[in-house]
Amino acid sequence: MRVYLDNNATTRVDPLVLEAMLPYFCEKYGNAASRSHSFGWEADEAVKKARQQVADLIGAAAEDIVFTSGATEGNNIAIKGVAAMYADKGRHVVTQSTEHKAVIDPCKYLEQHGFRVTFLPVDHWGRIDLQQLADAIKEDTILVSIMHGNNEIGTLQPIGEIGKLCKARGVLFHTDCCQTFGKVPINVQEMGIDLLTCSAHKIHGPKGVGALYVRRKRPRVRCEPVLHGGGHERGMRSGTLNVPGIVGLGQAAELCRLHLDTEPARLTALRDQLWSGLQARLDHIALNGHPTERTPSNLNVSFAYVEGESLMMGISDIAVSSGSACTSASLEPSYVLKALGVGDDLAHSSIRFSVGRFNTEAEIEYTIDRVAAAVCKLREMSPLYEMVQEGIDPSKVEWAER
């Protein structure tokens, strides 16, 4: 049995999404920008429909949606594009330490180009402090970028309150919603969002396509493009539209919207089944991220005294990911877990499980069995667990290599 529990990394394309996309490869293959023939018109119609489908999921108007190649591009346009456009007004941006690299790195790029960036710290659950945010906004602040749901630990930020605060202070608010788009209700009007990034492949759509919401009214937000060219997408994103991908994104968004009342609750139940099952079987395990304010799909657990990568090897038929350094080339454990104040030892011991539309209760039960068995086996060969059994706290030992 193979179980896929890495749905925060990417998801299986829903067959209904694929079905919607297929005609746009070999039959309706026109360029959506071709105004002079029916091939172009039918492609343009498909893009229009998808634009509406995406907009409907976040309470936006279709004209507010800019199609992109994915969330990395969306975040780059939002951050670098706003900074370039509003540089005369101010050169300060506020974000947080646990953002995805696709937000952190554009912000660092700005720092190298004459901007100041404030990286807000987070509490042990991964939430920012609203008072600290308010204090961080200065005269020359032009943009606040705070993600909705964290990709590693699932913690949700109170983006409605952040949006309100930004509105009151006259600062633009961008939010990366990759992990919540289609899973948590979002309304750009009620939440005061000016720019919003999302991606198709996190919601059972295809890879390589996403959308950026850019508010057109109250206020009208403008972005310098990152890609220059034919002036597509209101000039913010030149390049021939990826019509099949966009159709897939639209269909994926619509499926999420139709099931928003039931599917997030089902995912949450699977996630909670996994957590309570693991707790019943294992001691010395800890939840990373917020206990309740988290995305429906994400469960991040540290299994003390067991290294994450070795645990993944022990459950090799179950796809998960780890905050352990050993899974990356950097040899540094997850910066997100470190920002929460999770010790390096427990960061090395963390596993992210993320559920999706195609997971079942039986798969979760199987996962609980496999993980519990693997953790027990690895603890039997862990010198740290041996110390704990002997009443020694490994964190109080003077280790030679620091």
Partner 1 sequence: MAYGDKILDHYQNPRNVGALDRNSENVGTGIVGAPECGDVLKLQILVDENENIVDARFKTFGCGSAIASSSLATEWVKGRTLDEALEIKNTDIVRELALPPVKIHCSVLAEDAIRAAVADLKAKRAARAGTAESGAGVK
Q: Does 342 bind partner 1 (CB under 8 A)?
A: no
Pairing of β 92-96 and β 116-120: parallel
CB 237 within 8 A of CB 30: no
Give the other-Cβ count within 10 Å of 342's Cβ. Answer: 25
| Residue window 252-291: x/- pattern of binding to partner 1, with contact defined by CB under 8 A | ----------------------------------------
β-bridge mates for residue 243, sequence order: none
**Least distance from partner 1 to the Cβ atom of residue 324, Å:** 6
Give the other-Cβ count within 10 Å of 287's Cβ. Answer: 17
Residue 326 known to be catalytic: yes
For residue 203, the 8-state DSSP code is G
Q: Does 402 bind partner 1 (CB under 8 A)?
A: yes
Q: Does 382 bind partner 1 (CB under 8 A)?
A: yes
Q: DSSP letter string over 72-83?
A: HHHHHIIIIIHH
Options 110-118, 283-291, 359-367, 376-384: segment touching partner 1 (CB under 8 A): 376-384
List the structure tokens of 348: 């090395």
Q: Phi/psi of residue 201, each to 5°?
A: -75, -10
List the structure tokens of 219: 């206020």
Find where tokens 């220059």 sit: 228
Q: Does 313 bind partner 1 (CB under 8 A)?
A: yes
Q: Does 331 bind partner 1 (CB under 8 A)?
A: yes
Q: Which is nearer to partner 1, 283 or 401 (CB)?
A: 401
Among 1, 26, 280, 400, binds partner 1 (CB under 8 A): 400
Q: Which is nearer to partner 1, 263 or 345 (CB)?
A: 345
Options 86-94, 178-186, 209-217, 300-308: segment touching partner 1 (CB under 8 A): 300-308
Options 110-118, 175-183, 228-236, 325-333: segment touching partner 1 (CB under 8 A): 325-333
Number of residues engaging partner 1 in binding (CB under 8 A): 31
Q: Does 352 bind partner 1 (CB under 8 A)?
A: no
**Least distance from partner 1 to the Cβ atom of residue 290, Å:** 25
Helix axes 38-58, 243-258, angle to 10 degrees: 30
Nearest alpha-carbon partner for 96 in 151, 168, 144, 163: 144
CB 174 within 8 A of CB 205: no
Active site residues: 326
What does the binding site for partner 1 look like in residue numbers (CB under 8 A)? Answer: 305-307, 309-310, 313-314, 324-327, 329, 331, 333, 343-345, 348, 380-386, 394-395, 399-402
